[in-house]
Amino acid sequence: MSRLQSTFEALRADNRAAFVTFITAGDPDYATSLDVLKGLPGAGADIIELGMPFTDPSADGPAIDKAAQRAIAAGANMKKTLQMVTEFRKDNASTPIVLMGYFNPIFAYGLERFCSDAAAAGVDGLIIVDLPPEEDAELLEPANAAGIDVIRLATPTSDDVRLPVILNGASGFVYYVAVAGVTGGKSATADDIGAAVERIKRHTDLPVAVGFGIRTPEQAAEIAARADGAVVGSAIVSLIEEGVNAEEPRAQTVEKVLNFTQSLANGVRSGRN
Amino acid sequence: MALNSYRTGPDEKGHFGQYGGRYVSETLMPLVLQVEQEFNEAMKDKSFLAELDELNRQYIGRPSPLYYAERLTEELGGAKIYFKREELNHTGAHKINHAIGQVLLAKRMGKTRVIAETGAGQHGVATATVAARFGLKCTVFMGAVDIERQKPNVFRMKLLGAEVKPVTSGSATLKDAMNDALRDWVTNVHDTFYIIGTVAGPHPYPMMVRDFQSVIGRETKEQMLAMEGRLPDSLVACLGGGSNALGLFHPFLDDADVAMYAVEAAGHGVETDKHAASIAGGSPGVLHGNRTYLLQTEDGQVEEAHSISAGLDYPGIGPEHVWLHETGRVHYVNATDKEAMDAFQLCCRTEGIIPALETAHGLAHIVRMAPDLPKDHISVLNLSGRGDKDIFTVAKELGEEI
């Protein structure tokens, strides 16, 4: 059984939703980013999305865009992103890691080589935001062969005609993008999200995690009551930006990020009480 | 493999060989599929085509003249040179051809707002113009660097009622403006149509923009047959994303005796790190909705392009051009900032036409090629835009204050 499957099964047995965190690999530098990554499970993260930095993240808002630019400026590249996962796996064999980003850096690395190196590093899934089902066959094949799930995205514009196209070939979980927009923008109402999750579940048995617009423990709790997972990204990444702007010691930034992560995790855990 | 025709692409998924496609976020996919369906229906709808034709004639001023550049021909002493005068179109460049087509489609789809990205500002002005003409709200994304070097066009857009949003992310030029336009589009899918300014982006845009621009080549063919009784021997056009080049070339692609030269911006030289020549210095990659050639690092990070001309300052190229390059049908060459500046001045003085700096790159290749060609060789340059917008850049380059 894959790490993603066993994680969702264990959470289902506990009757709680997954808390999914996003950080950008190498932001603001490799060492700090690795410290945050290693600390996330202890701060309550059930699944970690690790962003692969790209110069042109056109589906992201300012927070994650800047995180990518900071990481690239500090020397981040795909090899180091995979290296981070390898380092993480030395002390953690159970928390799933999903790499998230854009297709071009993977394409440049070479699809087959990327999938086998990612699997060897301990990567469990991929979310490629600019690779719709129409174009992902060339990645799906080597990813699945390497035992990596390709996680598809459903959105407010995915109607009942579109959903089957998205879900055909999906594995791991379904990522529901709660608002039409970029990361770090507007928030949808909990009721709209609940209705959307129910609709997606009529088409699939996969768990549905919800992201975009979740910034507070309260919002995370509301989503956790209605979905199989709640994803927080921009709000966490913004703390790194604040730390960099304030020129605070890196250890202090790591602590702030992990404390905030813990408060969000508590929100998720309270969601179904 | 021998091809029966170079004009049948793209396939139903929008691929030209292995290039093109639809690499957009899932939120945009239903809309992108709908744009394709509406475009295909519109191009079979007689009333849509009649309205487009009427606007082409009465509003843009088509057909644009095919003009024999007599003094430039004499000056270069070789090939007989014609200009296809797209700079005489309403708004001063070829960009209006695809803007008018796309705004009609936006209206047909019931959209109330249009957005666009712009580099030199020509596409932004064209979009602001058609938005005003049809009473749609309009937002144009423009890199902060480009706003600085294209001030007249920025003001023009404002006069036309458009909101010009400065883009400060990345290199603050055309590629970043396209990122921000995509971010806006995904946030406003319900009421907004993205008028893309070149033969790039997700399918159907490369095909759609090409088809609206192909009026250039169709007219050229007809005009040349009337004036010379035969087809030209060569066609030349500058190329950033490649809309004016493809517009001129496409109707001639199956005329095997017509040679074609697309001229990329070599900036300080393609051997330096300051150029915008994706064919000469790029490699396959995926950006802004399509697979194409990009200027990028080994790690797949997109690099900043450089050209004296804001309209060519883009690290990618339309996917059909990559396919035409790999099949060998079109020759992809380039011209440096300096060669473009020299050709710019030559055109001003011999023909009394101030060309756009973009266009001057095409001219630079004519200047290089024409002297060695026989006098009965007929070459057509797409005079894609006028250079009024560039006079500040040129003055600075020449060390003059205005």
The shortest CB-CB distance from B31 to any of A55, A157, A186 is to A157
The rounded distance, in Å, linking the Cα atoms of B212 and B209 is: 5
- Which residues in chain B are closer than 8 Å to A69, comparing Cβ atoms? 169-170
Tell me, rounded to whole angstroms, the distance of Cα B64 from its chain centroid.
16
Instruction: Go through the domains of chain A in sequence order and give each one's CATH number.
Output: 3-270 (3.20.20.70)
Across the interface, whether the CB atoms of A108 and B296 are under 8 A apart is answered yes
Strands of B85-181, DSSP E: 113-118, 137-143, 163-167
The rounded distance, in Å, linking the Cα atoms of A249 and B383 is: 58
ipTM field: 0.96
Q: What is the pLDDT along chain A (273 residues), one digit of tens a residue?
A: 899 999 999 999 999 999 999 999 999 999 999 999 999 999 999 999 999 999 999 999 999 999 999 999 999 999 999 999 999 999 999 999 999 999 999 999 999 999 999 999 999 999 999 999 999 999 999 999 999 999 999 999 999 999 999 999 999 999 999 999 999 998 999 999 999 999 999 999 999 999 999 999 999 999 999 999 999 999 999 999 999 999 999 999 999 999 999 999 999 999 887
* Residue A26 contacts residue A74 (beta carbons within 8 Å): yes
* Residue B311 contacts residue B342 (beta carbons within 8 Å): no
- Which one-letter DSSP state was computed for residue B58? I
Strand, coil or helix: B228: helix
Angle at A110 between CA A105 and CA A116, to 5 degrees: 105
Token pair of B3, please? 């091809």
- Which residues in chain A are closer than 8 Å to B185, comparing Cβ atoms? none
- Which one-letter DSSP state was computed for residue B65? P
What percent of chain A is helix, strand and coil (3-state, nearest 5)? 50, 15, 35
Nearest CA in chain B to A80: B299
Tokens 């290296």 locate to A83
Angle between helices A62-73 and A234-245 (to 10 degrees): 50
Among this protein's residues, is B165 annotated catalytic? no
Buried b (16+ CB within 10 A) or exposed e, A39-50: bbbebbbbbbbb
Shortest distance, CA A167 to any CA of chain B (angstroms): 12
> Which residue of B11, B15, B23, B298 is the best one to mutate when testing the A interface, meaning the one whose CB has the most A CBs within 10 A?
B23
Residue among B80, B351, B384, B389 flagged as catalytic: B384
> Which residue of B13, B19, B167, B183 is the best one to mutate when testing the A interface, meaning the one whose CB has the most A CBs within 10 A?
B183
Nearest CA in chain A to B22: A135
Tally of CA atoms within 13 A in the half-sphere of B222 that contains its CB: 9
Strand, coil or helix: B315: coil
Shortest distance, CA B285 to any CA of chain A (angstroms): 6
Among this protein's residues, is B221 annotated catalytic? no
Instruction: Go through the domains of chain B in sequence order and give each one's CATH number.
Output: 16-56+94-209 (3.40.50.1100), 63-92+214-397 (3.40.50.1100)
Angle between helices A30-39 and A78-91 (to 10 degrees): 40
Across the interface, whether the CB atoms of B301 and A72 are under 8 A apart is answered yes
Shortest distance, CA B249 to any CA of chain A (angstroms): 29
